[in-house]
Amino acid sequence: MTAANLLSDRRAILLLGLLAALAAAPLAAGDYALSILITVLLQAYLGMAWNVMMGFAGQFSLGHALYVGLGAYAGGALFAHFGTPPLVGALAGMVVSAVAGSIIGTLGFRFKVMGVYFALLTIAFAEFTRVLFDHWNWVGASSGLFLPVSHSVNDDFWNLRGSATMFYYVILGMAAAAFLFSRALLGRRIGYYWQAIREDQDAADALGIDVFRAKMVAVIISASMTSLGGLFIAFYNNNLYPESIFSMHRSIELMLGTIIGGIGTLFGPILGAVALTALGEALTVIGAHIGIDGVKQIAYGVCLMVILAFRPGGLWPWLRHRLRLDGGRR
Amino acid sequence: MDATFFMNVISAGLLTGLVYGLMALGLSVIFGVMRVVNFAHGDMMVVAMYATYLLYTKLGLQPLAALPLVAGALFVFGYVLQRVLINRFLGVTEHIQFLLLLSVAIIITNVVLMVFGPDARNIQLDASFESYSLGPLVLDKVRVIAAVGAGCVAALLWAFFRYTTTGTAIRACADNPVGARVVGLDVEKLYAVTFGVGSACVGAAGCLLLLLVDVHPHLSSDYTLLGFIIVILGGLGSLGGALLGGVLVGLSEALSGVLIAPSLKTMFSFGLLILVLLLRPQGILGKKP
Amino acid sequence: MSGPMLSVENLGKSFRGLRAVNAVEFQVPRGDIVALIGPNGAGKTTTFNLIAGAFPPSDGRVTLDGADITGLDQARICRAGIGRTFQIVKPFAGLTVEENVMVGALRHDGGDVEKARKAANDILDLLELGDKALQPAQTLTLPDRKRLEVAKALATRPKLLLLDEVMAGLRPVECDRMVAILTGLNKEHGLTILLIEHVMRAVMALSDHVVVLHHGEKIAEGTPAEVTSHPKVLECYLGEDHG
Amino acid sequence: MSDHTQNPSTSKGINRRQFATTVAAGALVTAGGLPIRSARAATPLKLGVLLPRSGHLALIGQACQRGIDVGMPILRDMGYSIELMNADTESNPDVGRTQAEKLIREGAHMLLGCFDSATTLAVAGVAEQKGIPHVVNIGSEPKITEQGFKYVFRNFPSAPTLGRQGLMLYKDMFAASGVTPKTAVLLHINDSFGMGMLGGINALMPKLDLPFTIVETIGYDPKARDLSIEVAKAKAAKADFTMVVTRLNDAILLVREMVKQQVETMGITTPGSPGMYEKQFFKALGKYAEFCTTNVPWFDPKQEVGNQLIHAFEKAFPEESCDINVSFSFEAALIAADAHKRAGSTDPQALTEALRTTNITKRANLGGAITFDAKGQNVNLPSAVVQNLGGKPTVVLPSQSAEAKLAFPMPGFKNRT
């Protein structure tokens, strides 16, 4: 397998076509469709960020809402208090998240907290931080933090104030960058190290890999990427509440797409986000016809179960096979 | 704040902690034997609470009288769930198991929501407003009842594992599933019984907890998390550990609520969890993995 | 530089008071193949793990090429120049055979992936796995997995290769292939090898020197011929047979 | 979840238990002669209603929806012409935002909602971008009208206003009862509403020259499962009376715990939070629910529209309580309908202009005419003192609307029969 066929021609064409279609989408799509697409891309982006840690390096984090929240609050609070441009806020958020990630990583990996225990450690940190933010007045505590709304008609990219279309292109760019970044990571030394650790940590260790360092790199990269998603949420929503941004629900939502799509694969998070959103929307429509609230969620649970039962590896490996895109392994 | 005040607070924390412990017992039993982390734990408890509520409002059955019924029903539920669904997923990776039980949780929560609506329900016993006064100590009557009930159920569970053949077989299964299979134990059935017993514990806990708190469908995830904190504190798979963890969380909530700020008390539970995970990852009474 | 490649002095390990390995001493001369044999429970794998750094020794000293590596962890010892295989094979199941080997090779050449791929393929060809390079490792048969273990260890460019029962479970023909491969590595590439083996015909064919362990202690060493006629060795093996 | 309901009472916000009653409500509407009237209007107002009908706020979202559904026939009788487009926000701001966009795409002329402040802000942002007017039924976050939104109109006091008005009413309460306590203990929920109220109370206590001081402030987690510790702490404060800022469930827990721990104070009062006036509170606490007082905007029992609404509601949903969620959601629909009638068109600009000049005197709640200031806030929303008497919330102050006399200090828990 050479670099050239890491992405076979057919797949490259497919991807470029997809990208072109997405880039042209605002011309055709209405605001509703656009907001759905933003949801999809945001979920795909966050899923890819989580995938670095879990899918590539095999470290199960159930508390990624922590990094979403830190990124959102760092960017949001700096902007709300000092008018700091989001790009600077993004940097701050990435640093804070990376630090938080390395604290959790150091503690978890050094003390050999593994598997489910590690996952619960990450939840504990996220919940801990949620309660902390609930009481931190500078960021509005539980009353929430509000970003000033601009009334200018023009999009202001540098301050991330503007129309849905602008936000759409921002998240499209972020998702595309995350995809390319993930691909680059997988094709590099660290990517191979991660996969080795994911498959068998002891064997990886015996091959001279600095396992601790590799895992730390995964956590830090994943946390920083996730925090950027948080920043997007902050500026897109304009208001932040610890209760929702740090919630376990968000952590779960964030990884659901990736697991459904195909954990550890490059395209899985994207496919999973599309599939889940489509499922959600379809169920909303069906639910509206049945006319009982809650049917949607039940059907959602059932669908999830069915996918897990029949495609535990996710949809993408299966679909890739059906589409005969198996040229590269991923 | 005087000594009596602290004694009151501590005793309330202890009593609530025992019920928490019972709830966590179910989680601990299931993990200890099958290595399955039951993320639908809180949801099962909410179902038990609603069942108790129905038995009380429709048939006038007191929660303590309803307890065997509810526990029995949950046993059957757990048994069937394990047989039909979870058994297929025993060997798979953790995150798939997690998602599977999550989807079970989503379904349960929303079925409950559809059937009972989102309102909080509670039952009103005469005892609900009464309390025992032991000198300066004021003990909430239902809290005492619930704690004693939890203690009894825990003792029963211990006796089950200690003195019955099935209980011993399950313990053998937990220690060495391959060996258990070799000596001819029906491991699948034992797993189902285990899941049933774990669920029955949750059922009993739900019954007793309804004396103390109001039930609504969205209570479940809080209790799932709380259950995890408790079993990890005590040690996953350790029965005594679950009770100890429950009491610890009850106490830490009580004391941090008094000494610092009540709204920060969950943070202390999580803080305690982080501390224990780092200092003793297997939990206070847990065995080394 | 002269002196032995590996030198083990007074090596000991206790597990909760249980003495698993006691005062073991031997050397592996540069360019030689040394075999570590003994009945089950003799402490061979423990000795191996002490050398490879899976856990630290309770006492004693391990020197690799003149450098003290006592008590270093597994990864550091690998980087110091010891490549090892596991008795129970540990392939990276989800990766391809080629990628499995690349992981070991990536520590060299500044992590250049293409160079590592090339190196991996060379090693795979050497071990006659070249045609299976693009298969997922989980599809390999046991003999292939054993060879993959060796390939992975080789890819780290070790000065010393530790092989833990790579012949176990192989049929005689496959066993002979492996012997030929290892001999080739030793003769053509000058690789020093320390191996644990139960398959005596492989031990006889391969080793220049044999160390015998029993109950965690060295009871004999010498050439294969010397060792097999050593009374203590016979006693312990016969005793093993009778027990 | 958007559905163009010709028959507005078939709300999706129902569960099976309520199904029968909803059918009854539907029958009621049909009896009101709906087809003829809606045919008469040239272009009815398409009103997008966004409420949290599922998720953790479902209870309140469904109450709000009931208020609107029950109110539809009343509005038609008043000569208004509205078509509802209902959508469920699932108690999630992100869903609220996409649903708002969906409603607008499907032709909603105006939006109504969304009860919780986070979703309301998200939806207001969408409305602002699209230039579609948005009437807020309930939502106490000050930012909703302080953000500078041009299309947002709120007929509900912000948390600080609620707090101020509620606090001022304490003076009237003490004057009416002739008893003036010196100390209070404040228990509050630590969520966005509770913190907003607390902020208002802390800022105003020194300014309002009240006769009492707050000796201890105790916040608790919205997810608190039991409040024994909080109440123990409150008991230890030994204050003359108790002030609380709650939601529903915690209000029940709180009072029950006070009974258990025998915390006897002159009264359990709130300067403006929900909880203690709700039917569930009465059901759960029985005799112990009595005498709790709430200072909130309330139905005007002397107003015709308010009476009509209560009657229609009690007929359709005898099990449910007709509270301010119902009345303010109804009033929001009334405001929307009124603006549409005056604008004479469904053009968003015209509707917005009409909303700005709203002046409705025939309303359901206490207070003068509904009008909006430049920020889109109705500043004319006085609170009443509502005390739980005889198993139902009863207006006791201001005296001109009072149905009964205030009981303060309240009888001790021990002596109740």
Instruction: Answer yes or no: is pLDDT of D18 > 60.
Output: no
Interface mutation target, options B5, B119, B220, chain D, most CBs of D under 10 Å: B119
Residue pLDDT, tens place only, A42-54: 999 999 999 999 9
End-to-end CA distance of chain C: 46
Residue pLDDT, tens place only, D21-62: 444 444 444 443 334 333 344 688 999 999 998 777 877 888
Show the domain range for D397.
Answer: 160-296+384-415
Q: Which residues pair with D365 in a beta bridge?
A: D299
Percent of chain B with pLDDT over 90: 19
Distance to chain D for B144, nearest Cα, Å: 13
- Whether A330 maps to a domain, the answer reads no
Q: A119: closest CA among A171, A63, A163, A51?
A: A63
Instruction: Answer yes or no: is pLDDT of D4 > 70.
Output: no
- CA–CA distances in Å: residue A187 to residues A184, C93, C113: 5, 18, 8
Q: Does the beta-carbon distance from A146 to D121 stay under 8 Å? A: yes
B104 in reach of chain A (CB within 8 A):
yes
Distance to chain C for A207, nearest Cα, Å: 5
Same-domain pairing of D267 and D142: no
Phi, psi torsion values for A317, nearest 5 degrees = -55, -35
Q: B219: closest CA among B209, B204, B232?
A: B209
Q: Does the beta-carbon distance from A207 to C156 stay under 8 Å? A: yes
Q: Which residues of A touch B271 (CB under 8 A)?
A: 128
Same-domain pairing of D235 and D315: no
Q: What are the strands, taking DSSP E only, across A79-122?
A: none
Q: Which residues of D touch A288 (CB under 8 A)?
A: 1-3, 12
What is the total count of domains within chain D?
Answer: 2
DSSP string for B125-144: -GGGG-EEEETTEEEEHHHH
In angstroms, rounded to a whole number, what is the distance separating the alpha carbons of residues C29 and C231? Answer: 25
Q: Which chains form contacts with chain B, at 3 or more CB pairs under 8 Å? A: A, D
Q: Which residues of D touch B145 (CB under 8 A)?
A: none
- Whether B285 maps to a domain, the answer reads no
167-196 of A, contacting C, C-beta below 8 A: 187-189, 192-193, 195-196
In angstroms, rounded to a whole number, what is the distance separating the alpha carbons of residues B72 and B218? Answer: 24
pTM: 0.83
Please state the rounded mean pLDDT for residues B82-86. 87
User: Does residue C236 have a cis peptide bond before it, meaning omega lies within 30 degrees of 0?
Assistant: no
Q: For residue B266, give the nearest of A112, A121, A131 by CB distance.
A: A131
What is the residue type of A110?
Answer: R
Q: Does the beta-carbon distance from A149 to D125 stay under 8 Å? A: yes
Same-domain pairing of D351 and D203: no
A106 in reach of chain D (CB within 8 A):
no
Q: For residue D105, give the nearest of A30, A141, A146 by CB distance.
A: A30
Residue pLDDT, tens place only, B20-64: 898 888 888 888 888 888 888 899 999 999 999 999 988 888 888
In angstroms, rounded to a whole number, what is the distance separating the alpha carbons of residues D358 and D336? Answer: 9
Instruction: Answer yes or no: is pLDDT of D76 > 80.
Output: yes
Please state the rounded mean pLDDT for residues C14-35. 88
- Whether B289 maps to a domain, the answer reads no
Instruction: Answer yes or no: is pLDDT of C2 > 70.
Output: no
pLDDT of A4: 43
Model confidence at A8, pLDDT cuts 50, 70, 90, reads low
Please state the rounded mean pLDDT for residues B242-247. 90
Q: For residue B138, give the nearest of D252, D261, D413 by CB distance.
A: D261
> Across chain A, how many H-helices and E-strands are there?
15, 2
Residue pLDDT, tens place only, A137-188: 888 877 788 887 766 667 777 777 777 888 999 999 999 999 999 999 999 9
Q: Which residues of B touch A264 (CB under 8 A)?
A: none
Model confidence at A292, pLDDT cuts 50, 70, 90, reads low
- With CA atoms as reference, the chain A residue closest to D54 would be A293
In angstroms, rounded to a whole number, what is the distance separating the alpha carbons of residues B75 and D113? Answer: 44
Distance to chain A for B286, nearest Cα, Å: 13
Same-domain pairing of D270 and D338: no
Query: Considering chain A, what is the average pLDDT of its residues?
Result: 86
CB B122 within 8 A of CB B214: yes
pLDDT of B132: 79
Q: For residue B92, give the nearest of A107, A113, A312 by CB distance.
A: A312
CATH code for position A136: 1.10.3470
Instruction: Answer yes or no: is pLDDT of A91 > 90.
Output: yes
Q: D194: closest CA among D220, D169, D164, D232?
A: D220
CB A275 within 8 A of CB A260: yes
D195 in reach of chain B (CB within 8 A):
no
- Map residue C5 onto helix, strand or coil: coil
Q: For residue B119, give the nearest of D54, D228, D280 by CB distance.
A: D280
- Whether A328 maps to a domain, the answer reads no
What is the total count of domains within chain B?
Answer: 1
- Whether B287 maps to a domain, the answer reads no
- Whether B284 maps to a domain, the answer reads no
pLDDT of D6: 40
CB D186 within 8 A of CB D201: yes
Interface mutation target, options D16, D223, D227, D280, chain B, most CBs of B under 10 Å: D223
- Chains A and D form CB pairs within 8 A to the count of 98
Residue B59, C-beta contacts closer than 8 angstroms, at least 6 positions apart: none
CATH code for position B234: 1.10.3470
Same-domain pairing of D281 and D407: yes
Q: Does the beta-carbon distance from A120 to B273 stay under 8 Å? A: yes
Which residue did the predictor score with more confidence, A5 or A54?
A54
pLDDT of A330: 43
Could you tell me the sign of the dihedral formed by the alpha carbons of D399, D401, D404, D409, in that order? negative
Show the domain range for A99.
Answer: 3-322
Percent of chain D with pLDDT over 70: 90
| Residue C109 C-alpha from the chain's centroid | 25
- Map residue D242 onto helix, strand or coil: strand
A291 in reach of chain B (CB within 8 A):
no
CATH code for position D277: 3.40.50.2300
Distance to chain A for C93, nearest Cα, Å: 6
Q: B26: closest CA among B197, B256, B206, B254?
A: B197
- Whether B189 maps to a domain, the answer reads yes
What is the residue type of A64?
Answer: H
Opening angle at CA A28, ends A25 and A34, nearest 5: 55
Q: For residue A39, give the nearest of D98, D102, D150 by CB distance.
A: D98
What is the total count of domains within chain A?
Answer: 1
CB D67 within 8 A of CB D6: no
pLDDT of A20: 87
Model confidence at A69, pLDDT cuts 50, 70, 90, reads very high
279-308 of A, contacting D, C-beta below 8 A: 284, 287-288, 291-294, 296-297
A300 in reach of chain B (CB within 8 A):
yes
Instruction: Answer yes or no: is pLDDT of A82 > 80.
Output: yes
Instruction: Answer yes or no: is pLDDT of D16 > 50.
Output: no
ipTM: 0.79
Instruction: Answer yes or no: is pLDDT of B128 > 60.
Output: yes
Q: For residue B106, give the nearest of A115, A293, A301 by CB distance.
A: A301
- Map residue C208 onto helix, strand or coil: coil
Residue pLDDT, tens place only, D224-261: 777 888 888 888 888 999 999 998 888 988 998 898 88
pLDDT of A73: 96
Q: Which residues of A touch D1 (CB under 8 A)?
A: 284, 287-288, 296
Distance to chain A for D142, nearest Cα, Å: 10
Which residue did the predictor score with more confidence, D301 or C45?
C45
B103 in reach of chain A (CB within 8 A):
yes
Show the domain range for B270.
Answer: 3-279
In angstroms, rounded to a whole number, what is the distance separating the alpha carbons of residues D355 and B229? Answer: 52
Same-domain pairing of D185 and D249: yes
Same-domain pairing of D188 and D292: yes
C109 in reach of chain A (CB within 8 A):
no
Same-domain pairing of D25 and D126: yes
CB A215 within 8 A of CB A110: no
Q: Does the beta-carbon distance from A192 to C113 stay under 8 Å? A: yes
- Whether D367 maps to a domain, the answer reads no
Q: For residue D260, give the nearest of B13, B113, B131 by CB distance.
A: B131
Distance to chain C for A198, nearest Cα, Å: 8
For tokens 């609404």, the residue is D309
Instruction: Answer yes or no: is pLDDT of A1 > 90.
Output: no
Q: Which residues of D touch B120 (CB under 8 A)?
A: 59, 248-249, 252, 280, 284
Please state the rounded mean pLDDT for residues A218-230. 96
pLDDT of C62: 92
DSSP tag of D106: T
Same-domain pairing of D178 and D290: yes
Distance to chain A for D49, nearest Cα, Å: 14
Query: Considering chain C, what is the average pLDDT of its residues?
Result: 87
- Whether B51 maps to a domain, the answer reads yes
- Whether B114 maps to a domain, the answer reads yes
In angstroms, rounded to a whole number, what is the distance separating the alpha carbons of residues C129 and C141? Answer: 11
For tokens 């450690």, the residue is A121
263-282 of B, contacting D, C-beta below 8 A: 263-266
- Chains B and D form CB pairs within 8 A to the count of 113
Q: For residue A308, give the nearest of B100, B264, B281 by CB distance.
A: B100
Q: Which residues of C touch A185 (CB under 8 A)?
A: none
In angstroms, rounded to a whole number, what is the distance separating the alpha carbons of residues D385 and C133? Answer: 81
